[in-house]
Amino acid sequence: MAKKYFIKTFGCQMNVYDSNRMANILETMGFVKASNQRDADVVVFNTCHIREKAAEKVFSDLGREYQIKLERAEEGKDTIIGVTGCVVQAEDKEILKRAPYVDFALGPLRYFRLKEVVNEILQKREMQLLDTEFSAVSKFDYLPENKTIGGCSFLAIQEGCNNFCTYCVVPYTRGVEVSRPVEDVLREARCLADSGTLEINLLGQNVNSYHGEDANGKERNLAYLLNKVAEIDGIKRIRYTTSYPADVDDDLIMCHKNIDKLMPYLHLPIQSGSDDILKKMNRRHTKSDYLKVVEKLKKANPNIGMSSDFIVGFPGESDADFQQTLDVVNQVKYIQAFSFKYSRRPGTPAAVMENQIEEKVKKERLQILQDLLFDYQTKFNESSVGKVMPVLFEGKGRHKGQLTGRTPYMQNLYAEADFSLINKIVEVRVASASTNSLSGEVI
């Protein structure tokens, strides 16, 4: 019987992409995907270090996996436990101390070694392997073809980040920003289109600062790449995530006017509406810079829907600072957003700043912000009722006979539909709306 693997993914879309690539590697080795964790001979936890809660959850989940490993051992089954992702990079040797039963730990830039590492462990069962090198080699050059099957696929076009926002661990866990060459990205995009991808989401932590080389060694920007990806026949929808406000250039704004395949939705995190806080965060934009970019985008495509990330309770944030954040929300009227309480991350400059904000205040501010955000999100969803929208169905819904998919605005939509419509784009009339989803009828 074929050996089975199970990958549990925490964190951002970048990690989802990396997990898919690790699945590609394990499948080339003859492993098949396990339907549940208990059946798996190799279990990989692909981890996130962005906030304390996310990082701590990894260790409780690992502990549970160790119990499963012991139970499987009683049935005579061996289990390899691996950890990858940003917690590995951040904890380094500590991870093997905190979770001594782990067989291997690979940083986010090193998982291309998965095949070699698993084979080595299978041969020498008692060994433990850790690799967190910030290597000069590009992991992408060592990965097998991207065979991710599904209507929507992620494609990492960049790794790392040079922005060093003072609250953020990413530059330390993912290293310096590196753009993949144009031809590599296009080859992977064509490969995904050939295996059924209709929607492609180009990924980077600072994706709009993309500056990959083309075949002639000339540096090209994201706008160039978007135009090239749009030329691929099978690709019907394009998105890109996550953009940095100060790096949105006019070429990119014009893409929202000129590329029909580019979805009318943009995730553009502002983090805070206060210029003082933005400065302390080391963000290279002010509130008014940000609002100007949004205005230009809305001019290029009046139908564009905006989304953002917010942090409340950053050190020194006053009530007046927080009001500025609410003011931005009222001006932009986001159709979706993600908001977080500031989490103190060891090793980042903000962790040792004065005037850390009390948990109680953070909690109150988050509640106020989320109430406002949900209000706009609900209003937007309600304005969709009665409209006909192309929906890309991604899988089964909560109820029998139901599928779930996404509208161009990233809204979740449920509809009664045949399984054969999974991974297809179908016209749907929106019948009802709530804060988090829509329901509709296939036309």
By the criterion CB under 6 A, which residues form the site for ligand SF4?
161, 163-165, 168, 170-171, 205-206, 244
Region 181-240 residues binding ligand SAH, contact defined as CB under 6 A: 205-206
φ, ψ dihedrals at 375, nearest 5°: -60, -50
242 binds ligand SAH (CB under 6 A): yes
19 binds ligand F3S (CB under 6 A): no
In sequence order, the 6+-apart residues with CB closer than 8 A to the CB of 247 are: 206, 208, 209
Tokens of 416: 């009664």
Instruction: Tell me which of 5, 6, 12, 404 binds ligand F3S, using CB under 6 A.
Output: 12
Least separation in angstroms between CB 55 and ligand SF4: 15
Kindly tell me which of 244 and 380 has the beta carbon lying closer to ligand SF4. 244
- N residues, the chain: 443
173 prior amide bond cis, ω within 30: no
Least separation in angstroms between CB 50 and ligand F3S: 4
Rg (CA), the chain: 22
Kindly tell me which of 84 and 242 has the beta carbon lying closer to ligand SAH. 242
Least separation in angstroms between CB 177 and ligand F3S: 12
Q: Name the one residue in this structure whose structure tokens are 């920003």.
A: 177
175 binds ligand F3S (CB under 6 A): no
Kindly tell me which of 241 and 301 has the beta carbon lying closer to ligand F3S. 241
Which uninterrupted H or E stretch holds 41? Answer: none
Residue 311's identity, in one-letter code, is I
Tokens of 43: 């279990």
Least separation in angstroms between CB 141 and ligand SF4: 23
Kindly tell me which of 101 and 338 has the beta carbon lying closer to ligand SF4. 338
- Torsion, Cα 55 65 40 420, to 10 degrees, reads -50
- 160 DSSP 8-state letter: -
Distance CA 272, CA 250 (A): 24
Tokens of 133: 């090198």
Measured at the alpha carbon of residue 182, what is the angle toward residues 178 and 184, in degrees to the nearest 5?
85
55 binds ligand SAH (CB under 6 A): no
Kindly tell me which of 170 and 291 has the beta carbon lying closer to ligand F3S. 170
H-type alpha helices, 3-153 = 13-28, 52-74, 86-91, 94-98, 114-123
239 binds ligand F3S (CB under 6 A): no
Helices and strands counted in the chain (H then E): 13, 19
Site string for ligand SAH, 262-281 (x = CB under 6 A): -------x-x----------
H-type alpha helices, 281-407 = 287-300, 319-332, 359-383
Kindly state the number of chain residues that form the binding site for ligand F3S, as judged by CB under 6 A. 13
311 binds ligand SAH (CB under 6 A): yes
14 binds ligand F3S (CB under 6 A): yes
168 binds ligand SAH (CB under 6 A): yes
Kindly tell me which of 206 and 324 has the beta carbon lying closer to ligand SF4. 206
Q: Which residues bind ligand F3S (CB under 6 A)?
A: 11-12, 14-15, 48-50, 85-86, 169-170, 173-174
Q: Which residues bind ligand SAH (CB under 6 A)?
A: 50-51, 167-168, 170, 205-206, 242, 244, 269, 271, 309, 311, 340, 342-343, 345
